[in-house]
Chain A
Amino acid sequence: MEKRLRNIILGHSDQIIKNWLVKLDDNKVTEYGSTISQEAIEQTNREFVNVIFSNIENNGESNDLQEFSEKIVNLGWPLGYLTEGMQAFRSVAIRTILEDIGETKNNEEFLSIMEGVNDWVDPIKNRLINEYSSNWTNIVSLQKVALQELSAPLIPVMEGITVMPLVGTIDTDRAKLIMENLLNGVIKNNAEVVLIDITGVPVVDTMVAHHIIQAAEAVRLVGSQCILVGIRPEIAQTIVNLGIDLRNFPTKSSLQKGFRTALEMTGAKVVSESESEGDEIENILNSIEKE
């Protein structure tokens, strides 16, 4: 019986595919992809039905289910695309079988056909769902980690002084995160001074500048001070060309210089050993020259 159903389905694959594609249109599964071209949807539908058939042919032993689920996740299509697609396939398959064997003699036979079809539709559907959700969870958690790691780390260097090194492009979402982390961090670390290091920011346009200015203003509101450091010469030039006014808070070319300013602002004593060392070396050099 099972084999007989399978043979009917494989024998009528062309017709099933045709009816299935029509049914998908009826079901408005395609609505999910309103921003995607009709062509891409049709191509994916065809791939979907091929995956189903190759699983029937190979008794569920093929890897393309996994690949296909992954693809749907990457396309950003909802799980419903897969479940409704399988639902549609089930009803098309049952209809095709019933038409093929003609009049059903009794309810018993009808039920066993239903069960036969369910027995291989459900495993395919379950595997698609499982693959879809594990792919999805994986992507989300990876992105979360990547975002938190990259976005806006806050480093409490010493009492009262915190550094936020920014690396990479700043878009709207990241700018929000920077602002949040900055304010939370300033309060949590009890920072008097925050050094925002933009050495690793490739382009400082008016949007980035605007966000930095707003962040600095917000930091001031919670009672701390911002110093903008790591302004590369070419960035300084473009900021001037853009006519952006950064005079409202201190800026320094390097993190080292900014840190020195921060120490002064927090009232820490700056004991410069390098100068006395330099003197010593100079004295040595002088004495050698005299000999």
Chain B
Amino acid sequence: MKGTLSNVPIAKELDIVGARQTGRNIATELGFSSVDQARIATAISELARNIYLYAKKGEITFQQVEGVAPVGLKIIAKDNGPGIKDISKSMIDGYSTSGGLGAGLPGVKRLMDDFDIMSSDEGTTIHVIKWLR
């Protein structure tokens, strides 16, 4: 396996479960520990739910990558929604525009190894990677 492994569209709440399931299966196949599987599944849940809540539609892409470790799982959450007004605020624990816990984005950053976020009024793209160690 190399490159893009799977692509899951997010449009309804049930799709979040589908994305999580796909991610967990891939993580298991790549050999991640059960704790890392749980971290990956949780990160997917946060990213997919943000798409569903704030952008309505988008997609989650799974890629196998190489870098600081020979095997890594890269997850790309992409949408064409309204974008994040203030990215640095959104990374602060407790910041939420929807009355949520506001721990999603900062939490994902801690759950994963690499975290990249791009957002404009044309949408949001978040790249995260977990390295297999």
Q: Count A-B contacts at CB 8 Å.
A: 67
For residues 156 through 209 of chain A, which have their beta carbon under 8 Å from a beta carbon of chain B? Answer: 169, 171-172, 202-207, 209
The interface centre, meaning the residue of A171, A204, A242, A243 with most chain B CB atoms within 10 A of its CB, is A242
Shortest Cβ distance from residue B73 to the other chain A in the assembled complex, whole angstroms:
16
Say whether A237 faces chain B, with CB atoms less than 8 Å apart.
yes
Interface residues on B, range: 20 to 34
Whether the Cβ atoms of B38 and A203 lie closer than 8 Å is: yes
Whether the Cβ atoms of B45 and A243 lie closer than 8 Å is: no
Say whether B110 faces chain A, with CB atoms less than 8 Å apart.
yes
Say whether B101 faces chain A, with CB atoms less than 8 Å apart.
yes
For residues 196 through 242 of chain A, which have their beta carbon under 8 Å from a beta carbon of chain B? Answer: 202-207, 209-210, 233-235, 237-238, 241-242
Say whether B114 faces chain A, with CB atoms less than 8 Å apart.
no
Known A210-B101, A241-B110, A243-B93; contact A205-B45, beta-carbon cutoff 8 A: yes
Whether the Cβ atoms of B13 and A242 lie closer than 8 Å is: no
Whether the Cβ atoms of A243 and B35 lie closer than 8 Å is: no
Whether the Cβ atoms of A233 and B35 lie closer than 8 Å is: yes
Please measure, in the bound complex, the distance between the C-alpha atom of A265 and the C-alpha atom of B57, giving whole angstroms: 47
Whether the Cβ atoms of B49 and A205 lie closer than 8 Å is: yes
Say whether A281 faces chain B, with CB atoms less than 8 Å apart.
no
Known A203-B20, A210-B101, A244-B101; contact A234-B107, beta-carbon cutoff 8 A: no
Shortest Cβ distance from residue B31 to the other chain A in the assembled complex, whole angstroms:
16
Say whether B106 faces chain A, with CB atoms less than 8 Å apart.
yes
Whether the Cβ atoms of B13 and A172 lie closer than 8 Å is: yes
B contact residues around A172 at 8 Å (CB): 13
Please measure, in the bound complex, the distance between the C-alpha atom of A241 and the C-alpha atom of B40, giving whole angstroms: 12
Say whether B65 faces chain A, with CB atoms less than 8 Å apart.
no
Please measure, in the bound complex, the distance between the C-alpha atom of A233 and the C-alpha atom of B36, giving whole angstroms: 12
Whether the Cβ atoms of A242 and B38 lie closer than 8 Å is: no
For residues 9 through 41 of chain B, which have their beta carbon under 8 Å from a beta carbon of chain A? Answer: 13-14, 16-17, 20, 34-35, 37-39, 41
Please measure, in the bound complex, the distance between the C-alpha atom of A205 and the C-alpha atom of B41, giving whole angstroms: 9
Please measure, in the bound complex, the distance between the C-alpha atom of A243 and the C-alpha atom of B107, giving whole angstroms: 7
Fill in one digit per residue for B105-116: 1 if any A CB lies within 8 Å of its CB, else 0: 011001100000
Whether the Cβ atoms of B42 and A204 lie closer than 8 Å is: yes
Please measure, in the bound complex, the distance between the C-alpha atom of A270 and the C-alpha atom of B46, giving whole angstroms: 42
Please measure, in the bound complex, the distance between the C-alpha atom of A35 and the C-alpha atom of B34, giving whole angstroms: 39
A contact residues around B111 at 8 Å (CB): 238, 241-242
A contact residues around B71 at 8 Å (CB): none
Please measure, in the bound complex, the distance between the C-alpha atom of A244 and the C-alpha atom of B110, giving whole angstroms: 12
Whether the Cβ atoms of B46 and A237 lie closer than 8 Å is: no
Known A171-B13, A209-B101; contact A234-B45, beta-carbon cutoff 8 A: no
Please measure, in the bound complex, the distance between the C-alpha atom of A243 and the C-alpha atom of B92, giving whole angstroms: 11
Whether the Cβ atoms of A238 and B38 lie closer than 8 Å is: yes
Known A242-B42, A243-B93; contact A206-B107, beta-carbon cutoff 8 A: yes
Q: List 23 A-B contacts (CB under 8 A).
A: A169-B17, A171-B13, A203-B20, A205-B42, A205-B45, A205-B46, A206-B46, A206-B102, A206-B107, A209-B101, A210-B100, A233-B35, A234-B34, A234-B37, A234-B39, A237-B35, A237-B38, A241-B39, A242-B42, A242-B111, A243-B110, A244-B101, A244-B107
- 10 nearest A-B residue pairs (beta carbon): A242-B107, A234-B38, A205-B45, A234-B35, A206-B101, A238-B42, A241-B110, A206-B103, A241-B111, A210-B101
Q: A residues touching B (Cβ–Cβ < 8 Å)?
A: 169, 171-172, 202-207, 209-210, 233-235, 237-238, 241-244
Q: B residues touching A (Cβ–Cβ < 8 Å)?
A: 13-14, 16-17, 20, 34-35, 37-39, 41-42, 45-46, 49, 93, 100-104, 106-107, 110-111
Contacts A209-B103, A234-B35, A237-B39 aside, 16 further interface pairs with beta carbons under 8 A come to A171-B14, A205-B45, A205-B46, A206-B46, A206-B101, A207-B49, A207-B100, A210-B101, A233-B35, A235-B38, A241-B39, A241-B110, A241-B111, A242-B110, A242-B111, A243-B103
